A = this chain, B = another copy of it.
Amino acid sequence: MKLPTLSLHHHHHLTTPFLHNAATVSLSRSTRVSNGSPFAVRMSLKEDGPSVAIVGVTGAVGQEFLSVLSDRDFPYRSLKLLASKRSAGKKVNYENRDYTVEELTESSFDDVDIALFSAGGSISKKFGPIAVDKGTIVVDNSSAFRMDDGIPLVIPEVNPEAMEGIKLKSGKGALIANPNCSTIICLMAATPLHRRAKVSRMVVSTYQAASGAGAAAMEELELQTREYAFNLFSHNAPVLSNGYNEEEMKLNNKSVKVTATCIRVPVMRAHAESVNLQFETPLDEDTAREILRNAPGVVVIDDRAANHFPTPLEVSNKDDVAVGRIRQDVSQDGNYGLDIFVCGDQIRKGAALNAVQIAELLL
């Protein structure tokens, strides 16, 4: 059962201004739960499921791991909730059972089949390899291992094949990296188009939510302090010698040329991205729209007459990435360019949901 006390967030279903005729678009909260009620009783505790640990359970993404596991009826035979010493001892009621948060130590991973990490890069770097040595398969939400050769960086809808060879019950541990949130949200829309017409270059400008800067930034925005509200600023990641910040370089890709500008905006938990695409072969906008309508995990919101397009509020707490403003780029001749606008929940598909989907591929 999804308990409200464990869920940081509630549903927003407000329309945006100027959208008086906005059609209702259904975005899936969970793709696997047939009963739509958020209070449906689900029991994922199953004798033959893997043993699961959550590292960083008290954080925003850690809490979302619990929500997503429950929403998707992810089977587990046992659940271990791990956090720093400061949080150890906290009681959590989850799916009708009481748990006590335990301190993360080197012995935390005995008999853990799958560990979902979201406790920052330094915790991942220290405890990830320890878990792997114990035979645990680690799905890591930090940037610690994203650039490492031999560690798959996986979006299940994009490159599930990268996980080949990683199996539960093989006795062998492994690391799998969860990509950066902006990258996941962008590639959910760009990849289906890339498969058809090969993207040669992308120009991305992001509108990133406060949630990516942590719970403190969200609280600051909620309190409407002038430093965060009514303003926006270049992403707070360190700037490299080439002038790009680390967040922007994360959008880079070996096979596609990408330039990105990453900006934080006073929005709570969903990212938006303006993406300009150049293709090697022509792709018209109607075909692109049809491809995106059929893409898994993607919903098209593209009602020009009603000026109804994706917004961060509309995708907040939702699984799907929403795509709209699909149009032929007037600055490129002959159907070789498209502009699109993408929104996705940074904590959900950008973090916890993607990690749990990776774990599902192991089942």
A258 at the interface (CB under 8 A from B): yes
B14 x A244 contact (CB < 8 A): no
B217 x A263 contact (CB < 8 A): no
A230 x B266 contact (CB < 8 A): yes
A202 x B331 contact (CB < 8 A): yes
B326 x A243 contact (CB < 8 A): yes
A272 at the interface (CB under 8 A from B): yes
Cα(A85)–Cα(B346), bound, Å: 50
Residue of B17, B266, B325 near A265 (CB, 8 A) is B266
A217 nearest CB neighbor, chain B only: B17
Within 8 A of B (CB), among A321-336: 324-332
Given the known A-B contacts A261-B274, A331-B258, are A233 and B309 also in contact in the complex, defined by CB atoms under 8 Å? yes
B207 x A12 contact (CB < 8 A): no
A26 to chain B, nearest CB (A): 19
Residue of B12, B242, B245, B309 near A226 (CB, 8 A) is B12
B232 x A207 contact (CB < 8 A): yes
Number of interface residues of A (CB under 8 A): 65
A267 at the interface (CB under 8 A from B): yes
Q: What is the oligomeric copy number?
A: 2
Cα(A257)–Cα(B337), bound, Å: 12
Cα(A337)–Cα(B330), bound, Å: 19
A232 x B304 contact (CB < 8 A): no
A279-316 CB mask vs B (1 if < 8 Å, else 0) is 00000010000000000000000001101010111000
Residue of B202, B252, B261 near A325 (CB, 8 A) is B261
A201 at the interface (CB under 8 A from B): yes
Cα(A205)–Cα(B341), bound, Å: 10
Kindly list chain B residues whose C-beta atoms are within 8 Å of the C-beta of A229: 229, 266
A71 to chain B, nearest CB (A): 23
Sort A-B residue pairs by CB-CB distance and give the 9 closest, nearest first. Answer: A243-B327, A205-B205, A257-B331, A205-B274, A239-B304, A259-B331, A18-B236, A261-B274, A231-B313
Between-chain CB contacts (< 8 Å), 10 pairs: A17-B236, A18-B233, A18-B236, A203-B331, A231-B311, A231-B313, A238-B307, A243-B339, A257-B332, A259-B331
